[in-house]
Amino acid sequence: MITGTTVRRFVRHALIRTGLEGISLTRAGHLWRAAAGRGIIFTLHHVRPATSTRTYANALLSITPSFLEEAIQACLERDMMPLPLQDLPERLADPRDKRTYFCFTLDDGYRDNAQFATPVFRKYGVPYTIFLTSGFVERTRSIWWETLEAILACNCEIVFDFGSGEKHLPLGSEIRKTFVYDRFMDYLTLTPEDEAVDAIDRLARSVGIDPLALTDQLILPVHDIAQLAEDALCRFGGHSLTHVNLRRVDADRLKHEIEGSLDTVERYAGYRPETFAYPYGYASAVGPREIQAARQAGFKVAVTNLPGVLRSESAQDPTAFRRVSLNGNYQKRRYVGALLSGVPFKLPDTRKA
Ligand SMILES: [Zn+2]
């Protein structure tokens, strides 16, 4: 049986692609300059060569090094200037400054960032910020979406209790895997996150997967972070202690997650971070309380994943900057042009489809 979530996923993809194609083909991006504002902050996760095994679930989190290069070229062709994220508030607040900027940010601290993205950023002299989750760096917290992808890669039958008794879930086909993935997404929404992560960890171990070994395989270790911190183009920022949805935790945990990441990132990188990325970053994971907490903790800049380009007014709220995700499902140069135009963010929000 296919859930409504699965159907919505396909509809959403079709709508986004149609929208991006429409904008790139009509060249609306060139006609509607005002929509582009003062620039853009890109969100990236994995940067690594394409594989044929990543066909569902996390595919949107991976872009190839050549697509990253195309995105940089698209910005440079439009005379946009690369800028370190922490410098953005001053530039946007300066009324004499009419330039447009682009910033690159990479969430979660994947090893592939150093291996595949750093050489591209160096080639073009483009600064970038990597946001670290302390529990991932220290191998004490698993990355549930990666664990889930590893579980779903097996062609076995899994047994899991979503809250109404054990269910046997065969994973024999792509459509079954997508269905099971969506059930887990619903489960994660309804279950306290720590509890859900623990349950997914137990499931992983039951099919022979070690979730923390997977974290170790994927995330930059402290030694590599220290090494990368010497790269003048690279800055590290905080991404909480456990990557929990901050809107779903109490005030004490919120403070601990945000302020704790100041200290841990300082320990790894050798300087106090000035930037923070809210885990998940969408509207149900970051609100006024979280934006204020990041400001009170002393972060100069904090970024959401609410889609949008930069405006001069954005400088008034530097712990609520919007970003644009470079999505692994839409890796075409002309789509970057459409995003840079700002037009997609003026259109009705197709993501709610
Ligand atoms: Zn993240």
Tell me the CA–centroid distance for residue 240 and ligand 1, in Å. 9
What was the pLDDT predicted at 29?
Answer: 47
110 and 188 part of one domain: no
For residue 343, pLDDT beyond 70: no
Are 122 and 179 members of one domain? no
pLDDT at position 350 is: 40
324 and 183 in a single domain? The answer is: no
- Ligand 1 center to residue 279 CA distance, Å? 5
Distance CA 298, CA 223 (A): 26
User: Could you give the number of structural domains in the chain?
Assistant: 2
> Which among 15-29, 40-54, 232-246 has the top mean pLDDT?
232-246
Which residues are CB-contacts of 97 (< 8 A; sequence separation ≥ 6)?
A: 91
* Cα-to-centroid distance, 28 and ligand 1 (Å): 32
Final residue before a domain boundary, out of 157, 188, 212: 212
E-strand spans in 53-178? Answer: 62-63, 81-82, 101-107, 128-132, 157-161, 166-170
Cα of 146 to ligand 1 centre, how many Å? Answer: 12
What average pLDDT does range 76-82 have in this prediction? Answer: 92
Whether residue 6 has pLDDT greater than 80: no
Kindly give the distance from the C-alpha atom of residue 167 to the centroid of ligand 1, in angstroms, as a whole number. Answer: 29
**From the CA of 153, how far away is ligand 1's center (Å)?**
22
Task: Give the residue from 192, 212, 232 where a domain finishes.
Answer: 212
Reply yes or no on whether the pLDDT at 279 is more than 80. yes
- Highest mean pLDDT: which of 23-27, 51-55, 275-279? 275-279
Q: What is the pLDDT of residues 171-181, one digit of tens each?
A: 988 888 888 98
Can you tell me which residue has the tokens 């291996």?
115
Asked if residue 129 has pLDDT above 80, the reply is: yes
Centre of ligand 1 from the C-alpha of residue 197, in Å: 15
Instruction: Provide the 10 A C-beta neighbour count for residue 178.
Output: 20
Query: Tell me, what's the pLDDT at 136?
Result: 98
CA 69–ligand 1 middle distance (angstroms): 22
Residues 6 or more apart whose Cβ sits within 8 Å of residue 194: 242, 244
Last residue of a domain, one of 185, 212, 239: 212
Q: Which two tokens stand for residue 30?
A: 């060139």
Tokens 């859930």 label which residue? 3
Closest CA to 131 of 214, 41, 239, 220: 239
Specify whether 26 is located in the same domain as 105: yes
Domain annotation covers residue 249: yes
Calculate how far, in angstroms, residue 317's C-alpha sits from the geometric centre of ligand 1: 21
Q: How far is the CA of 160 from the centre of ligand 1 (A)?
A: 25
Contact 302, 318 (CB under 8 A): yes
Pair (118, 242) in one structural domain: yes
- Same domain (yes/no): 259, 119: yes
In the structure encoding, which two tokens stand for residue 33, read together? 């300059």
Residue 44 Cα to ligand 1 midpoint, Å, equals: 10
CB count, 10 Å around CB of 155? 11
| Residue predicted with more confidence, 155 or 130 | 130
Integer CA distances (angstroms), 214 to 60, 62, 130, 147, in order: 19, 17, 19, 7
- Read off the pLDDT of each residue in 64-91 and give the average, rounded to a whole number: 94
> What's residue 200's pLDDT?
97
CATH code (residue 254): 3.20.20.370
Question: How many angstroms separate the alpha carbon of residue 281 from the centre of ligand 1?
Answer: 8
Q: Tell me what the mean pLDDT of segment 93-119 comes to.
A: 96
Q: What percent of the chain has pLDDT over 90?
A: 67
- The answer to whether residues 134 and 153 belong to one domain is no
Q: Which residue range is the domain that position 338 belongs to? A: 4-44+60-138+220-352
What are the beta bridge partners of residue 129? Answer: 105, 235
User: Does position 155 have pLDDT exceeding 90, yes or no?
Assistant: no
pLDDT at 293 over 60: yes
Q: What is the pLDDT of residue 8?
A: 55
Pairing between β-strand 101-107 and β-strand 81-82 as defined by DSSP bridges: parallel
Identify the residue with better confidence: 323 or 57.
Answer: 323
Whether 134 and 282 map to the same domain: the answer is yes
Same domain, 17 and 132: yes
Q: Is residue 52 part of a domain?
A: no
348 confidence band (pLDDT: 50, 70, 90)? very low
pLDDT at 169 over 70: yes
Q: How far is CA 121 from CA 61, 103, 179, 308, in A?
A: 19, 11, 37, 23
Query: Is residue 94 one of the residues assigned to a domain?
Result: yes
Rounded to the nearest angstrom, the distance between the alpha carbon of 219 and the centre of ligand 1 is 12
Cα(183)–Cα(154) distance, integer angstroms: 17
- Mean pLDDT score of the chain, rounded to an integer? 87
Residue 35 reports pLDDT greater than 70? no
